[in-house]
Chains A and B, each alone.
Chain A
Amino acid sequence: MASLSWDYVLKFVIIGDASTGKSSILVRLTDQRFLQNPDPTVGVEFGSKLIHIPDQNKTIKVQCWDTAGTEAFRSITRSYYRGAAGALLVFDVTSRPSFTNARSWLADVREHADPNLTCVLLANKIDLCEKDESRRQVTREEAELWAKEAGLLFLEASAKTGKNVEEAFDQAARDILQKIQQGIFDDNRSHGVKSSNRTNQQNSMQLEGAEAKSRGCCT
């Protein structure tokens, strides 16, 4: 059962070419909160979401950071990379260049991020191909093959319909959990992975009662 407490906080970065739908994925993940309130200055933590993994009875708080727009401040952008446990590498299936450029994005994130970072290759805008297959410029097989070669998870998704968006984070979170259990990621000592503390667990008892009320804005 989902709870407002969490076992781990995992930091993600969303990377990829402009116009591939990175922000839309974030919007979809966070249940449209971004669209409802387009003002980024109000102090709301955009891009955070609780994901429950029932078979492991773990609740993960995913914190996503969209680095779009801050490329000029490279020294900070790198710190976002460094602080990530997972990366969502997004390309647009109707744009061949965005797939080609995914290689350099991957090289960039591999250079600056934790070497154990879990990366998901996400082929976005699949809804456009379902309507008109001729718009597809990158086949599923090709993207899947490259993902396998590069050691990435792979999913085809649509931020518009919501298809596979949550699934992408779910898969990435499971992969990171596995790495934590194997000792590859060291919770609380590795960047991007934070486990819950005792205080949080205590708070969760109080928050259980308020769960139904609060779920509307967080899950």
Chain B
Amino acid sequence: MRYATLEEILNKLFFLAVTDEDPQFIEYFLLDYRRFATPRSVLLGMQKFMISLSKEGAYRHMAMYAQLRLSAFLERWIETYPHDFASPGAPGALSALLRQMLGNTHLVHYATDLLPFLDTLPDLVDHDEWWAKKDDGRVRSSWSDDGTGLDSEDMAVEIHPRMTEADVIPSVHVAVTTTTTTVERTDVVGSGAGALAGKGVISTVVTGNISPSTLSMPTLTTRGSRYSIVGHTHGHSLGDAGSAGASHALSPSRNLSSPAVHTVDASGGSPRLRDREEERPPRQRVLTGPDAHPDAKANIKELLRVSQALMKKEPMHIAEEITRVELTYLLAIQPRDWLRHIPGKKAFRDEKDDPISEIGKIFNYIANWTASLILANESASKRLKMMEKFCLVARSLRVLNNYSGMRAVVTGVNMSRLDGDYFSQALAKKPFWKSFQSLEILLSSMRMYNAYRIALRNTAGPAIPDLEVHTSDIYRSEDSNPDFKPSEPHLIHWGKFMIMGRIICTVTACQTRCRNSPAYKFEERRDIYDLLMGVVVMDYDTIRERSTPPSSSRDIHSTYPFIPGETPSTLRIRKILSGLSR
């Protein structure tokens, strides 16, 4: 499906939300739908789909099951991107949808779980409003305004930022008594079929009256949702051990763990729902290192001291510390940050707000740090020893599958020998150099970084991807590929959004593995951390100046200091000879 109308995409979305055949489709949709649709239009589409299911006569139980799955999808959406619902028109549409759900006995427990979320909407800020598609009516689902009375303008209550919760839910008075519905085993198409095992029991979740006053004082628990209510909703026993079967049977999606939503916290604790848009792991700020003042000058003596101290450390320990530092930057990236980062969205270009720019900053820092520590040494032989050390560090980073750190170190080593010819002969004799060159091949840009992509694809454990490649991918998928078909603007370029989703989810998958894997729980080595982050490194001009080789290649094994300012000799000699031969 390369081009499709919004209606076609939503149809597929709802179908897949029920059957769970293609979880990636849902993940990609939630990630980037705001480029081509508004939350309100999706909610209205969902509302109509729910109503059409309610009218289903012949397959009523199937329809109920589908509604449950859709409710689970809504819950997932709210948990993953809560601020989407603060966008214009969304609160009203959500309110209408929840009220409609309250009218269906089997959906009441979902609705009551989600109702308190409406209270939080006035405090939510839509982070994505500035890049998301505005409701200009260009792409509009026929569901939203087809005259069937479903437009939530009729049903919904618009929420203004300063509305009280009583205003928000003015008329939700649901008199509910405990009811039990028995659902016979039903054949269900798709992988969700297994969820309906045997007889299921629907227990309504509310006893008593739900009114704004009762809803205003929910006791929030984490029974799988941040917005569950207990207390006024006793009898809500789906999470109880005794009714586990019922829970499995009739809340199938309660157990649908999407890797993007359910994660294990960084400390290795139990799985929990993670609000990706609000939680960013804290990052230790350092006064020097990547956060040094731009005018701060590198102290060669200090760099030399660090360089000598680093020589005594194990390459693997250095690699682990680099990985530990980079990991905090990687985990700070939220999936939608990629969409905020792409061209033309300049409001996000403040580096402090942009975790992708921040990881670029730490990448550049590690590259400069590597080059600085090599170049702090004055003699060629010491520089070679330091190069060897960093080649071993790069090798260790490869073992750890830290592609980003490995590329930074490789870049740093290459920066320290800007005139590649100079060290070539000396390096060619070194046993470590061949393995270093194999890393360069791995990171080569040939065939769109094919070697790296294959390596990453075959990396099973935690990995820190080379984010420069993935950033470039996002830009390339965006460039020259408009969001809508130019000749038929109502058609969405869904193929492009799938690709963007795939690119982003490649990184997200690495992040998840990094969070979950004990392999990345490194012991903090404060001494190495200080050597890594506690210095002011050379700027690019200084690196370039100091990387200029000595006037004679004989100095390669000498201990004489380099003479900055000399230009590469080999090229000059060749030019002179070339001139003489004419």
Contact = CB atoms under 8 A, between A and B. Distances in A.
Nearest to B479: A23
Report which residue of A24, A39, A78, A182 has the largest number of chain B beta carbons within 10 angstroms of its beta carbon: A39
A41 B468 contact: no
B267 interface: no
Given A41-B453, A45-B447, A73 B360 contact: yes
B558 interface: no
B333 to A, nearest CB: 12
Interface stretch (A95-103, A132-140, A183-191, A211-219): A183-191
Contact of B540 (A40, A70, A78): A78
Given A18-B344, A38-B499, A69-B475, A75 B408 contact: yes
A39 B415 CA distance: 31
B574 interface: yes
Nearest to A80: B445
A19 interface: yes
Nearest to A21: B480
Contacts of B450: 43
Given A46-B448, A72-B361, A189 B421 contact: yes
A36 to B, nearest CB: 11
A76 B468 contact: yes
Size bracket of the B interface: 35 or more
A210 interface: no
Contacts of A78: 540
Contacts of B540: 74-75, 78
B277 interface: no
Nearest to A41: B473
B276 to A, nearest CB: 21
Nearest to A65: B445
A39 B497 CA distance: 10
Contacts of A1: none
A201 to B, nearest CB: 21
Interface string A45-68: 110000000000000000001101
A189 B351 CA distance: 38
Contacts of B415: 75
B448 A73 contact: no
Contacts of A66: 476, 479
Nearest to A73: B468
A35 interface: yes
A69 B474 contact: yes
B360 A69 contact: no
B241 interface: no
A171 B364 CA distance: 35
A186 B571 contact: yes
Nearest to A22: B479
A23 B478 CA distance: 10
Contacts of A24: 480
A76 B411 contact: yes
Contacts of B284: none
B90 interface: no
Contact of B495 (A22, A38, A42, A46): A38
Nearest to A190: B571
Contact of A43 (B453, B477, B571, B574): B453
A74 B448 CA distance: 19
Contact of A68 (B357, B447, B479, B579): B479
A71 B407 CA distance: 16
Given A42-B448, A44-B448, 16 more contacts: A19-B344, A35-B480, A38-B476, A38-B480, A41-B499, A41-B502, A68-B479, A69-B471, A70-B471, A70-B475, A72-B359, A72-B471, A75-B363, A75-B411, A76-B411, A186-B574
22 contacts: A23-B479, A34-B476, A35-B481, A38-B496, A38-B499, A39-B499, A40-B448, A41-B473, A41-B499, A41-B503, A43-B447, A43-B448, A45-B447, A46-B448, A46-B476, A65-B445, A66-B479, A69-B343, A69-B471, A73-B364, A75-B412, A186-B574
Interface of A: 18-19, 22-24, 27, 34-35, 38-46, 65-66, 68-76, 78-79, 82, 182-184, 186, 189-190
